[in-house]
Amino acid sequence: MGRGGAQKDREDGPVRKCIATGEAQPTHGLVRFVVGPEGQVVPDILAKLPGRGIWVSADRAALELAVKKGLFSRSAKQPVKVPEDLVDEVEKQLARRVVDLISMQRKAGKAVAGYEKVKGWLQMEEAEVLVQAVDGSGRGKSKLSTPHYGHYIGWLTADELGLAFGRQTVIHGALASGGLTQRVVEEANRLKGVRVNEAGKGQPKG
């Protein structure tokens, strides 16, 4: 089975235009920024901070273009300060968001970790999402297949998945449908776009 990763299932909801590409798309495919009190651009991963939002596609190239071309100042219609590590900070916050959501699903009984438990969920068709560490063994990961009509997330590290599941490291995880699973898929998709150096590595072919 192909490993296309998280797909966009939800095309409704608010639509905003990316300042880098000029394309309008649902907000779950974008990253919101605001200008802080001291004129510094701040990532607003949860899209809840006060102020006028500046939207950029959840794509590393688009984010880097917005920084390089001074598009934040243009959009804000005022000079703004852009931290040198802004794109890396976005990646860090998105990763933390995905980890937190998976953790909440685990506490709700909708996520499991470990090869045997994940294999069992897949066999019983309990799993909607297969999650595997990007730095795990390709041979080991290839023994599990993405759920039919489900999703695959393969760009979190074993350490990040360990945080999500309350362990030191995790290679295999699975999420059931319902609860926050759709949000996990969307946030992981945003992370994949920003984490270009990791997104294509370690994903076994099904």
Residues 21 and 59 in one domain: yes
In a domain, 25, yes or no: yes
40, 33 contact by CB (below 8 A): no
Residue 28 pLDDT: 92
Q: Is the pLDDT of residue 174 over 80?
A: yes
Q: Which helix or strand (DSSP H or E) is residue 190 part of?
A: helix 181-194
Q: What mean pLDDT value characterizes the chain?
A: 89
Q: Is the pLDDT of residue 113 over 60?
A: yes
pTM above 0.85, yes or no: yes
Residues 170 and 81 in one domain: no
In a domain, 94, yes or no: yes
Mean pLDDT on 53-82: 96
Residues 112 and 125 in one domain: yes
Given 62, 86, 110, the domain boundary residue is 86
Residues 29 and 123 in one domain: no
Mean pLDDT on 19-36: 95
Residues 107 and 157 in one domain: yes
195, 146 contact by CB (below 8 A): no
Residue 125 pLDDT: 94
- Domain hosting 184: range is 90-199
- Count structural domains, the chain: 2
In a domain, 98, yes or no: yes
Mean pLDDT on 74-102: 96
In percent, how much of the chain has pLDDT > 70?
Answer: 89
Q: Is the pLDDT of residue 67 over 60?
A: yes
Q: Is the pLDDT of residue 197 over 70?
A: no
Mean pLDDT on 61-75: 96
Q: Is the pLDDT of residue 86 over 90?
A: yes
In a domain, 139, yes or no: yes
CATH (domain of 117): 3.30.1330.30
Q: Report how far apart, in Å, the C-alpha atoms of 119 and of each of 8, 132, 161, 205 are.
A: 25, 12, 17, 17
Residues 51 and 94 in one domain: no
Question: Ramachandran region of residue 109, left (φ > 0), alpha (ψ -120 to 50) or beta?
Answer: left
Query: What confidence category does residue 140 fall into, taking pLDDT thresholds of 50, 70 and 90?
Result: confident
Given 64, 86, 108, the domain boundary residue is 86
CATH (domain of 51): 3.30.1230.10
Residues 37 and 62 in one domain: yes
In a domain, 205, yes or no: no
Given 86, 103, 130, the domain boundary residue is 86
Task: Report the 10 Å Cβ neighbour count for 4.
Answer: 11
d(CA 37, CA 35): 7
